[in-house]
Amino acid sequence: MTHKVTLIPGDGIGPEVIQATVRILEATGVKFEWESFAAGSDAFAKYHEYIPKELTESIERTRVGLKGPVTTPIGGGFSSINVELRKRFELFANFRPIRNLPHIPTRYPDLDLVIVRENTEGLYSGIEHEVIPGVVESLKIITEKASTRISRFAFEHARKARRKKIHCIHKANIMKLSDGLFLQCSRKVSKEYPEIIYGEHIVDNTCMQLVMNPYQYDILLLENLYGDIVSDLCAGLVGGLGLVPGANFGHECAIFEAVHGSAPDIAGKNIANPTAVLRSALLMLRHLGEAEAAWKIRNAIDDVYRDRAKLTRDVGGNSGTSEFADAIIAAMETPRQPVAPMPV
C-alpha cells in the first residue's frame, strides 16, 4: 500500500530536518507518495497566499501531513501559519510525548509524561486589535465545546495508553471565567473516568514543580498558550528541542510536527537535529498503521544514540543533520538482537 502524505517542509531548518526524515522513512520500505507544498513567506513568494489553496486541498485529500516549522514574524507581519492550519482543519488536540532518549544525560532520567494541549482557541489565537493608539486588546476565548473535547481526548488517551493520572493546568484563580470554564469542563469529563486520578495545578506552580520533581506528572492537560510554554520547558528536561515530537489531531485529519520552531540561528548549516521531526514521523507511522516500520526506526534511534558517534551538536556530538540520517539508515540495515520494544 502507498500512503499519500502532504509534506510541508517549512522554512529555516525545516527543509533540512524534513529531508533527513523523508530519507529515513523511505528506507523502511514503506511506500509514500508525497505531496509537497511551501507555506508561510516562501508560499507567498510563489502563490501570493501564505497557505496555498493547493496545500489545503492536498490535506483535505490525504488527511495526513508531515510538517517542518514555519517562521512567524515577531511583532508584526502575517499571522501564524501554524495557528491557521490547526484552526482550518480543526486539529484540536496537540499531543507531545516527553521522554528521555537513552544515553542523553539529563537531570531526570526515565521521564515519561505527555502534554495534551488545546490547539484551537485561547489567547494563543492572537485575536487582537488596537482600541486607541497606545491601547491594545487581546481576546481570550474559551468555549465549553473545545474544553470538553480536549479533556475527553486526554482521558481517552490515558485509558488507551494505560496512564494513571491527569493534571489539568490552569490559572483559574485569576482568570476565573475563562480558565474557570476550562477547569469545570475537565472536572466534569474526569468523572466519567474514575480509574484515572485527576488533579489540578496552577500553571506557575506547575513550572516550578516540573523543574523540581517532574516525576509527579503523567499527563498534563493545558489550554493553548500554557501548553505552548510548558512544552518547551519539558523539552528542556529531556535534552532539548531537537528531540521532542508532536502531533496535531482532529477528527478528520492529523498533522505531525516537532515542538521546535524554524531555528533561524542554525538554519542552512546542516547542524540541526532531525530527531524531533523523526520521532513525530514515528507517531505518523503508527497513525498510518505502520507500527513495524516505526519500531525499526525507533530501534535505530536507540542504536545511534547509544553509539554516540554520529550525534548532532545540540546533544553533544559533531555530526551534521545528513550524517545523522545516514547513521539511522545504516543502523536500520544492521541485523539486531531482538530487544523489548520501547515506546516511541
Work out the angle at residue 41's Cα, subtended by the Cα atoms of residues 38 and 44, and round it to the nearest 5 degrees.
75
Instruction: Name the residue nearer to ligand NAI (CB basis): 172 or 344.
Output: 344
**Nearest in space to 77 (alpha carbons), one of 126, 150, 16, 136:** 126
| Residue in 82, 29, 35 with CA at minimum distance from that of residue 54 | 35
| Nearest distance from C-beta of residue 319 to ligand NAI, angstroms | 12
- Give Cα separations from 156 to 16, 54, 115, 132, 227 (angstroms): 35, 34, 14, 45, 18
CB of 85 to ligand NAI, least distance (A): 9
Q: Among residues 220 and 271, whose Cβ is nearest to ligand NAI?
A: 271
Q: What residues from 10 to 49 belong to the interface with ligand NAI (CB under 6 A)?
A: 13, 17
**Residue 265, interface with ligand NAI (CB under 6 A)?**
yes
What residues have CB less than 8 Å from 52, skipping those under 6 apart? 37, 38, 39, 43, 46
In the bound state with ligand NAI, the residue whose beta carbon lies nearer, of 189 and 259, is 259
Among 190, 231, 262, 280, contact with ligand NAI (rule: CB under 6 A): 262
Dihedral sign from CA coordinates of 224, 63, 98, 313 = negative
Q: Which range of residues in 69-77, 155-163, 184-192, 216-224 is near ligand NAI by CB under 6 A?
A: 69-77
130 contacts: CB under 8 Å, gap ≥ 6:
136, 137
The backbone torsions φ and ψ at residue 140, rounded to the nearest 5 degrees and listed phi first, read -110, 105
Site string for ligand NAI, 212-251 (x = CB under 6 A): -----------------------------xx---------
- Identity of the amino acid at 131: V
Give the list of residues 6+ apart from residue 69 with CB closer than 8 angstroms, or none.
Answer: 10, 11, 12, 13, 14, 82, 257, 258, 260, 261, 262, 263
Shortest Cβ 76–ligand NAI spacing (Å): 12
Grid cell 503508527 is found at 286
Candidate list 15, 65, 69, 245; residue touching ligand NAI; CB under 6 A: 69
Smallest distance from the beta carbon of 38 to ligand NAI, in angstroms? 13
Q: Which stretch binds ligand NAI (CB under 6 A): 63-71, 91-99, 159-167, 186-194?
A: 63-71
Candidates 128-136, 189-197, 254-262, 296-304; binding stretch for ligand NAI (CB under 6 A)? 254-262
Query: Please, which of residues 159-218 interact with ligand NAI by CB under 6 A?
Result: none
Among 151, 231, 273, 299, binds ligand NAI (CB under 6 A): 273
Among 166, 225, 263, 285, contact with ligand NAI (rule: CB under 6 A): 263
Residue 330 CB burial class (10 angstroms; 0-12, 13-18, ≥19): middle
Q: Binding ligand NAI by CB under 6 A: which of 227, 239, 261, 320?
A: 261
Which listed residue (6, 19, 58, 82) binds ligand NAI by CB under 6 A?
A: 82
Q: Which of 266, 282, 311, 328 binds ligand NAI (CB under 6 A)?
A: 266
Residue 219 vs 235, nearer CB to ligand NAI: 235
Q: Which stretches of the chain bind ligand NAI, using CB under 6 A?
A: 13, 17, 69-72, 82, 241-242, 257, 260-266, 272-273, 276, 314
